[in-house]
Amino acid sequence: MTTSTPSRNGAAKQPHLRVIPLGGLHEIGKNTCVFEYGDDIMLVDAGLAFPSDGMHGVNVVMPDTSYLKENQKRIRGMIVTHGHEDHIGGIAHHLKNFNIPVIHGPRLALAMLTGKMEEAGVMDRTILQTVAPRDVVKVGQHFSVEFIRNTHSMADSFSLAITTPVGTVIFTGDFKFDHTPVDGETFDMARLAHYGEQGVLCLFSDSTNSEVPGFCPPERSVFPCLDRHISQAEGRVIITTFASSIHRVAMILELALKNGRKVGLLGRSMLNVIAKARELGYMRAPDDLFVPIKQIRDLPDRETLLLMTGSQGEPLAALSRISRGEHPQVQVKNSDTIIFSASPIPGNTISVVNTIDRLMMLGAKVVYGKGEGIHVSGHGFQEDQKLMLALTKPKFFVPVHGEHRMLVCHSKTAQSMGVPADNILIIDNGDVVELTPDSINKGEPVKAGIELLDASRNGIVDARVLKERQQLADDGVITMLAVISTDGVMAAPPRVNLRGVVTAADPRKLSLWTEREITWVLENRWQQLSRNTGGKAPEVDWMGVQREIEVGLQRRLRRELQVEPLIICLVQPAPGGTPAYKGRADAEPDTRPAPRGRRDGHRDGNRDRDRDRSERPSAPRRELASVGAGAPAPASAAPAPAPVAATPARVEEPEISGRTRRRRSAAS
């Protein structure tokens, strides 16, 4: 059944349902799923992910939504399963780019979404419709969706039964089976069983913990462990967890009350989420339990509990700042008990352990880790996943919400439950699952990938920008200024300036290489880059000249020094007829030691004079910023005939790469 039948046009053959995840597969995060039948598109969730190492200056990762932008006329609405960032974090951003006429979702999730939409100024772009358990909503002509209450680390969470013309699809959303949920809202297993009896065409199920055997312990099981640590604490108690772990936060507030401690809240999301959850009744706590941070310092330590963000070691979160001694209101005391009631998301482990180390070095008692019973997952383990399969009895199965090995593991679980291997698809973002009443196939994939947003969440960091940032961080930057006359002559020696570049190369060698690249470009590319328009001066593609020099030098540095700094070339045009700078390329190899005290390798035309000057300790350092505009740089002292002197250097050059050779022979 897994044969690939490329079939983009549903009308051409038997109509089928297309399910296209744009995010959330082979990763944990940015869950975004497209359901498509006929002319209708329905979205399920639209989350964000957080950047990995090397994504410098990127704050948020979004799925590529080109497919949705191209097909936005067909989008009939969106379904939200619950309020976690990896499910709703992308919506406000997407609303700036394409239309979503209506969003149906749980009250708590939509309340949190409202805050994000207000911030992004997109409140008027869609209609938010709150749903209750067992509500059925119609989206477009072909979809009807029932919201089935499930249990998860976030309150007010749903699984979905999506009825389509080809059959019913169960989309679990994030879930675990918690029979004693903190808020008393139990999993509506009867409803799942009902659909299982009627016949479920396909199950799309949460794979996060598919590698973990057993049942996921109930959320309530952390209560006695937290209670023990809090009641035994001699001084202040500081607890960090995800603000969105509503049940956990509710229990911590309950424990504060029980142990006679007032609560101070730190971190914007902690304050926001608790305010929203209390307002909507998902958390019950008396007003006088909370004390503003400024006043809480007046209370005895034994009556204080601080609840804050920073469980993932995020550099700007409250606990991280406290650990670095940078928080204006809270400093660590020896008597503090600090509890990490969360486990690090893969990728955050190093920043979390660093935070723990710093807090311990400041003298606090830090409680963390698996053995303490202070954290349980919100995602079901293998036995939970089996129970889901047993209740829904799906014909076809697609594991979702997980990294590749988790998907594979989940598919094995399904096979052990009797789902034939041929009826299971392991897919990637952008893959298209095509379903008919009796088949499941992979169709032609659609464009999928990532969009990276910087702090403003407006600027998209594209692949080129990211590459440049990686180069800056890894290998630094080289800037150079070349003075070139409009008749294609190098009119002054190039100025080269290094920042953050570690190289054993003699700076003079660098400027020699630069001269050679410039000379090469002028000799071999000038014809293509300049155009005689009949006016006084030819029209020159200066950007093209810059690019050619950058590319050439880049390759040479990669080859010679195994470094890849970012290279920025600025060309300062000089009037035609400016005498040529003769260049050092034809100079004898210089055995004098490199000048000390300066890193930039630029030279004036008179090399000896310049070298002498640079050796003087007080030699003024010339910055690139000081040039680049205005009159041409002082022309070379050596009056040479135009065009630029031939460079015998090429003959000396022992290191001509394949590329240079090709370029040269092509030009000759």
Distance of alpha carbon 108 from alpha carbon 157, whole angstroms: 9
> Which residue lies nearer to Zn ion by CB, 174 or 431?
174
Q: Smallest distance from the beta carbon of 105 to Zn ion, in angstroms?
A: 13
Q: Smallest distance from the beta carbon of 342 to Zn ion, in angstroms?
A: 13
> Which residue lies nearer to Zn ion by CB, 23 or 579?
23
Q: Smallest distance from the beta carbon of 287 to Zn ion, in angstroms?
A: 29
The C-alpha angle 125, 449, 163, rounded to 5 degrees, equals: 60
- Structure tokens that stand for 321 in this block: 């700042």
> Which residue lies nearer to Zn ion by CB, 30 or 556?
30
Distance of alpha carbon 387 from alpha carbon 410, whole angstroms: 13
State phi, psi for 325 to the nearest 5 degrees.
Answer: 70, 25
Distance of alpha carbon 285 from alpha carbon 282, whole angstroms: 10
> Which residue lies nearer to Zn ion by CB, 149 or 469?
149
> Which residue lies nearer to Zn ion by CB, 242 or 290?
242
Strands 237-240 and 262-266: unpaired
> Which residue lies nearer to Zn ion by CB, 86 or 434?
86
Total residues found in the chain within this entry: 668
What are the residue ranges of helices labelled H in 162-245? Answer: 189-198, 222-232
**CA dist list (Å): 86 to 82, 244, 371:** 10, 11, 27
Distance of alpha carbon 145 from alpha carbon 164, whole angstroms: 9
Q: Smallest distance from the beta carbon of 416 to Zn ion, in angstroms?
A: 24
Interhelix angle 107-120/268-279, rounded to 10 degrees, is 130
> Which residue lies nearer to Zn ion by CB, 49 or 58?
49
> Which residue lies nearer to Zn ion by CB, 84 or 321?
84
Q: Smallest distance from the beta carbon of 176 to Zn ion, in angstroms?
A: 10
Taken in order 214, 218, 224, 225, the sign of the CA dihedral is positive
Q: Smallest distance from the beta carbon of 185 to Zn ion, in angstroms?
A: 15
Q: Smallest distance from the beta carbon of 350 to Zn ion, in angstroms?
A: 22
Distance of alpha carbon 347 from alpha carbon 436, whole angstroms: 39
Neighbours of 343 (CB within 10 A): 18
Give the per-residue SS3 of 594-606.
CCCCCCCCCCCCC
> Which residue lies nearer to Zn ion by CB, 44 or 521?
44
Q: Smallest distance from the beta carbon of 181 to Zn ion, in angstroms?
A: 14
Q: Which segments within 38-142 are labelled E, that is strand?
A: 40-46, 60-63, 75-79, 102-106, 127-131, 136-139
DSSP string, 604-639: -SSHHHHHHHHHSTTPPPPPGGG-SSSSPPPPPSS-
**CA dist list (Å): 568 to 295, 325, 498:** 53, 39, 10
Q: Smallest distance from the beta carbon of 31 to Zn ion, in angstroms?
A: 6
> Which residue lies nearer to Zn ion by CB, 26 or 125?
26
From 409, 343, 346, 432, select the one nearest 207 (Cα to Cα).
Answer: 409
State phi, psi for 195 to the nearest 5 degrees.
Answer: -65, -35
Q: Smallest distance from the beta carbon of 394 to Zn ion, in angstroms?
A: 20
Which residue(s) pair with 366 in the sheet?
338
What are the residue ranges of helices labelled H in 174-303? Answer: 189-198, 222-232, 246-258, 268-279, 293-296
Q: Smallest distance from the beta carbon of 153 to Zn ion, in angstroms?
A: 6
> Which residue lies nearer to Zn ion by CB, 86 or 600?
86
> Which residue lies nearer to Zn ion by CB, 156 or 174?
174
Strands 477-485 and 566-574: parallel
Q: Smallest distance from the beta carbon of 152 to Zn ion, in angstroms?
A: 5
Q: For 64-93, give one letter per residue: b (16+ CB within 10 A) or e.
A: bbebbeeeeeebbbbbbbbbbbbbbbbbbb
Q: Smallest distance from the beta carbon of 206 to Zn ion, in angstroms?
A: 7
Q: Smallest distance from the beta carbon of 279 to Zn ion, in angstroms?
A: 21
The C-alpha angle 595, 601, 607, rounded to 5 degrees, equals: 70
**CA dist list (Å): 494 to 479, 490, 645:** 10, 8, 15
Q: Smallest distance from the beta carbon of 370 to Zn ion, in angstroms?
A: 20
Q: Smallest distance from the beta carbon of 385 to Zn ion, in angstroms?
A: 15
> Which residue lies nearer to Zn ion by CB, 235 or 347?
347
> CB within 8 A of 143, min separation 6: which ones?
35, 37, 40, 42, 76, 162, 163, 164
> Which residue lies nearer to Zn ion by CB, 84 or 261?
84
- Structure tokens that stand for 627 in this block: 């040039």
> Which residue lies nearer to Zn ion by CB, 81 or 471?
81
Neighbours of 474 (CB within 10 A): 14
> Which residue lies nearer to Zn ion by CB, 108 or 545?
108
Query: Can you tell me whether residue 27 is helix, strand or coil?
Result: strand
Structural element, H or E, at residue 383? helix 382-392
Residue ranges binding Zn ion (CB under 5 A)? 84, 86, 174
